[in-house]
Amino acid sequence: MPGLIRFRWIAIACLILGTLPLLKWGFLQTRDVPYFIAVLALLATFNVLAQGIWPREESARQKHVLVNLWVDLLAAVGLLFVSGSANNPFISILCIHAFLGGMLLKQKSSYLFGLTVLALLGLLQFETYLDAKVTVGADTSEMLLSFLSQWVLVTASWFVSHYFSGLLHKNEQRIRLLQDRQHQADRLKALGALTAGFSHQLATPMNSLKLRMERGLRKLTNEDSPAKEEFEKAQSSLDECVRVFQHMASVFSRSSQSELQKVQVELLTADLLKVWEKENEPVSVEKHFTTETLPCRLQVLAFSQTFFDLLNNAYEASPEGSTIYVRLFKQDSWIVLEVTDRGEGLSKEILSRLGEPFVTSKADGNGLGLYSASMMAQGAGGEFKIFNNTSGRGATAQICLPVEEL
């Protein structure tokens, strides 16, 4: 049963128990008791119905909560209207309604409900003020001070609950994000361990097979023999397999490094970019580097290889003659490095399985580059992301690393 419905049952029980005190103190007239009981009965009936149709979807639940709170508010105002209005000692129940609205509702719904509570409070106060005007000897100055305090209490109740609800919501989102990252990191580590074991187990027999094929080729004396041609093709394919396994071994050895070195990322990145530009002339690279000092602890070899891989990916994905964009800047306590291309972007499947070994959009790729980038960023306490550009052209690879305090 949702907490709001349980709370309403408690409120109904308290109002029933409070009927006699209200009669005794004169806030509730005997002629208004049937109306009072009828409102409570309707509220209880609504609570039973609401309990049976409470939605499970988050979007529909917000609307349902708003309707329930409005019904509760109107019922409370109706009961207060016939039992002393703003003079009723239970007027503080509006503070509870404002608190619940600020806590349970989000964005516009919360503001709308808060204004509704204040408007209905003003209506009760106006009715009380009109009654006092026709009452002989009534002191309206103290009444106005009491009205002001009621407004302050209701507004403060809504504001405090709305503020802390926003903080809780942000913390909840942060926790979910961290959990998702941890799950992804655990999955990548498990896949890496499985792939490393697979690579280790097959490397030895494949090297042995390569040696045997080389011996077999040397024994074939006929240069034009079809068998020798097939052997050469098979040896070429085997060499490619060996290179893949060697690449896998180098990736996992870099990922397992634990030594982090303190470097200035802006200097390291600038040096690496110069080396890459020199080896890939005449590629057009547009760079935007911050002038701030960006100290960070990271695996220099893994970072360098990752940066080269991202530049190579951007170069291969971009149309001929297009520009690659490299940005390095500081955002809060994070160092952000972005490499952007103007290619066709990535599919949803690739984006959803980011960083998994052997998941790639390239025909001749093995998907180890993005895996290495993810493990490098996580090893430094950061994060690696890749996303399609909002312009609809190309993708951006982003590395976020924590700033090392000086």
pLDDT tens, residue by residue, 109-121: 889 999 999 999 9
Instruction: Tell me the per-residue pLDDT of 258-278, one tens digit each, with 9 for 90 and over.
Output: 578 889 999 999 999 999 998
Instruction: Tell me the per-residue pLDDT of 208-248, one tens digit each, with 9 for 90 and over.
Output: 777 777 777 777 666 656 777 777 777 777 777 777 666 66
At 310 the pLDDT is: 92
How far are the Cα atoms of 178, 267, 268, 343, 404 from residue 264, in angstroms, in the given order? 27, 6, 6, 31, 9
SS (H, E, C) 114-146: HHHHHHHHHHHHHHHHHHHHCCCCCCHHHHHHH
Tell me the mean pLDDT in the region 17-35: 77
At 170 the pLDDT is: 83
327 against 194, higher pLDDT: 327
156 against 81, higher pLDDT: 156
SS (H, E, C) the chain: CCHHHHHHHHHHHHHHHCHHHHHHHCCCCHHHHHHHHHHHHHHHHHHHHHHHCCCCCHHHHHHHHHHHHHHHHHHHHHHHHCCCHHHCHHHHHHHHHHHHHHHHCCHHHHHHHHHHHHHHHHHHHHHHHHHHHCCCCCCHHHHHHHHHHHHHHHHHHHHHHHHHHHHHHHHHHHHHHHHHHHHHHHHHHHHHHHHHHHHHHHHHHHHHHHHHHHHHHHHCCCCCCHHHHHHHHHHHHHHHHHHHHHHHHHHHHHHCCCCCEEEEHHHHHHHHHHHHHHHCCCCEEEEEECCCCCEEEECHHHHHHHHHHHHHHHHHHCCCCCEEEEEEEEECCEEEEEEECCCCCCCHHHHHCCCCCCCCCCCCCCCHHHHHHHHHHHHCCCEEEEEECCCCCCEEEEEEEECCCC
Q: Is the pLDDT of residue 257 over 60?
A: no
Write out the E strands in 265-382.
284-289, 295-298, 323-331, 334-340
Percentage of the residues of the chain whose pLDDT score is greater than 90: 18
46 against 193, higher pLDDT: 46
- Between CA 380 and CA 296 the distance in angstroms is 8
Tell me the average pLDDT of the chain.
Answer: 80
Q: Is the pLDDT of residue 365 over 50?
A: yes
Instruction: Tell me the per-residue pLDDT of 308-324, one tens digit each, with 9 for 90 and over.
Output: 989 998 998 888 888 99
pLDDT confidence tier of residue 200, bands split at 50, 70 and 90: low
- Between CA 88 and CA 164 the distance in angstroms is 29
At 208 the pLDDT is: 78
Tell me the mean pLDDT in the region 90-96: 85
- Between CA 253 and CA 242 the distance in angstroms is 16
One-letter amino acid identity for 102? G
Percentage of the residues of the chain whose pLDDT score is greater than 70: 79
Tokens 């909002």: give the residue: 390
Tell me the mean pLDDT in the region 133-157: 80
User: Which residue, 66, 88, 68, is CA-closest to 21?
Assistant: 88
- Do the beta carbons of residue 389 and residue 396 sit within 8 Å? yes
What residues contact 314, with CB distance under 8 A and at least 6 apart?
324, 339, 340, 341, 343, 397
Tell me the mean pLDDT in the region 55-70: 73
At 237 the pLDDT is: 77
